[in-house]
Structure 1
Amino acid sequence: MTRAASLPQSRLRSNGGTPIVGTVTRGTTNPNRLRRMDRWIAATHGAELRRAGEPVAVDLGYGAAPWTAVELLGRLRTVAPRARVVGVEIEPARVAAARPYERAGLVFRHGGFEIPIPQRPMLIRAANVLRQYEEGEVAAVWERLRARLAPAGDGSRGGLLVEGTCDEIGRRHVWVALGPEGARTVTFATRLGSLERPSDLAERLPKALIHRNVPGEPVHAFLRDFDRAWAAAAPYASYGARQRWIRAVRELTAHWPVLDGPVRWRQGEVTVAWGALAPVR
């Protein structure tokens, strides 16, 4: 396993002189791009955020414009009114450009995977950040970010790291959720009207899985079975794509550890235990 110490270290330093860990991303971003991920976070992690009192969330690598951080604050506050968001970017010019958008509960900081804030965040969202890294570097990034999360205890499961990839306008998205103890789940989310078959989501698998969509790997078997369930559910298409998706996911539950239910399935989502899809070689 790649160790955290081997992560790429930028030549940049923070204002305090601390080395910044990571490399500059393309910075591509669009308003409302991460809405599916944000809504899932609010629905599944909202209780933990409220329990924290004044939870801090980090939008890591928000890109060339601050829209995703602004939107994250609004969505989190629907479930945790005292939530605060820190946008973290490795490119200093992007931080400077975002500063005019600061407001109560929203600030921007220069940094990378070291997460340059004193608090242990209840949430780190890293969307479309690891696509440019090598697969062998993912474990080290996850390890470093998990170490910065708020710890579990007193009935709390601790902070949550959500890392994944989506298309440019947020129609298709796949992410992994990790706690302080390690990876927990994989979620597939899509605008159902844009979907021909579930395996269309393969192109948006996060870096830890995208090169594993080959025979012999669990994620390949999962997408194969999902396509078969989707085909078998074709008669439900007359009731709409949502009903077809729900029927297909229900069929999947007979063979795969699906962890959510119809409320989330209706949103075009399905969440599976990480252990069932984790790479085997």
Structure 2
Amino acid sequence: MASQQRPRRPVSGAPGARSARPVGAVTRGTTNPNRLRRMDRWIAAAHGGALRRTARATGRAVAVDLGYGAAPWTAVELLERLRTACPRAEVAGVEIDPERVAAARPYAREGLTFVRGGFEVPLPGGARPALIRAANVLRQYAEEEVPAAWARLTDRLGPEGLLVEGTCDEAGRRHVWVALGPEGPRTVTFAAHLATLDAPSDLAERLPKALIHRNVAGEPVRAFLRDFDRAWATAAPYAPLGARQRWIRTASALSADWPLADGPGRWRQGELTVAWPAVAPRGWVS
């Protein structure tokens, strides 16, 4: 929910606190069909089992598309993609701008609703979501506001719930996101359209707000991207076999020194996931 001209309501304060007004600020609203496909694909694979368990236990698994923007495409697509992993998945698109909510409501259907709200994530009956996806929401907030925003959002999660927060480019070809449970951040995933990738460090400009200003000497994420580029360069002989084979070889080499949380099955998708503690900002306190 990136700031424009209007004042921004702070996201600090007690994580469990409720507010009569939505918490946050209106984003620019930029969105495109298929922009979040890489994130959605990863969520369905990594979190599908938890969604199914939630659906078996409660009869439904509610996911939130927080700050979906000026058009509802990402919420519509999230429902379609989650239902490949969990047929009883439901999606609530949550937006702070009432005009955007009104414009999206004609697209509502079984399993898909649109409500006004912000970081407090209001759902009917106080339901706790099994998933909150917040893509390109914190991009223009201050770095020091991120922990409070994460705390608010993870506080809303149900059992086995997951928050996925990150940033991508307009076409969805470069994407980096953090996955968080109720206890805090767990992993960071780097995802790319490999055919257009010159080097893994091209993804640096899409680091989430918690990391983007830490891509400097002495910070773990800078060291990770440096080693990522070195492994990519070493894997250059595999380039004639295709960018995918080069990426897989790169990830395999990188795993010798960094705690990767995935394997070849995900690497083939142009993804690579590393444990959060390995790249967390220096001095980070969960």
1:40 paired residue number: 42
- Structure 2 distance, partners of 1:20, 1:190, is 33
1:251 paired residue number: 253
For residues 54-73 of structure 1, the aligned pairs below 5 Å read: 54-73=60-79
TM-score by length of 2: 0.91
1:115 offset after TM fit, Å?
Answer: 0.4
Residue 267 of structure 2 aligns with an amino acid whose one-letter code is: W
Residue 63 of structure 1 aligns with an amino acid whose one-letter code is: G
**Unaligned segments of structure 1, at least 5 residues:** 8-13, 152-157
Contact residue 11 and residue 24 of structure 2 kept, 8 A:
no
Alignment of 1:146 onto 2:154: yes
Residue 273 of structure 1 aligns with an amino acid whose one-letter code is: A
Alignment of 1:21 onto 2:23: yes
Alignment of 1:76 onto 2:78: no
TM-score by length of 1: 0.93
- Structure 2 distance, partners of 1:63, 1:194, is 26
Residue 116 of structure 2 aligns with an amino acid whose one-letter code is: H
Query: % of aligned pairs identical?
Result: 73
1:195 paired residue number: 197
2:105 paired residue number: 99
Closer, same or farther: CA 3–127 of 1 in aligned 2, 3 Å: closer
Alignment of 1:110 onto 2:116: yes
1:5 offset after TM fit, Å?
Answer: 1.6
1:132 paired residue number: 140
- Structure 2 distance, partners of 1:19, 1:95, is 15
Residue 250 of structure 1 aligns with an amino acid whose one-letter code is: S
Structure 1's consecutive aligned runs of 4 or more residues displaced over 6 angstroms after TM superposition are none
The Cα RMSD (Å) is 1.5
1:4 offset after TM fit, Å?
Answer: 2.7
Residue 98 of structure 1 aligns with an amino acid whose one-letter code is: A
- Structure 1 distance, partners of 2:14, 2:156, is 17
- Structure 2 distance, partners of 1:136, 1:6, is 15
**Unaligned segments of structure 2, at least 5 residues:** 1-9
- Structure 2 distance, partners of 1:216, 1:204, is 20
Contact residue 11 and residue 119 of structure 2 kept, 8 A:
no
Aligned length: 266
2:33 paired residue number: 31
- Structure 2 distance, partners of 1:31, 1:105, is 19
Contact residue 130 and residue 158 of structure 2 kept, 8 A:
yes
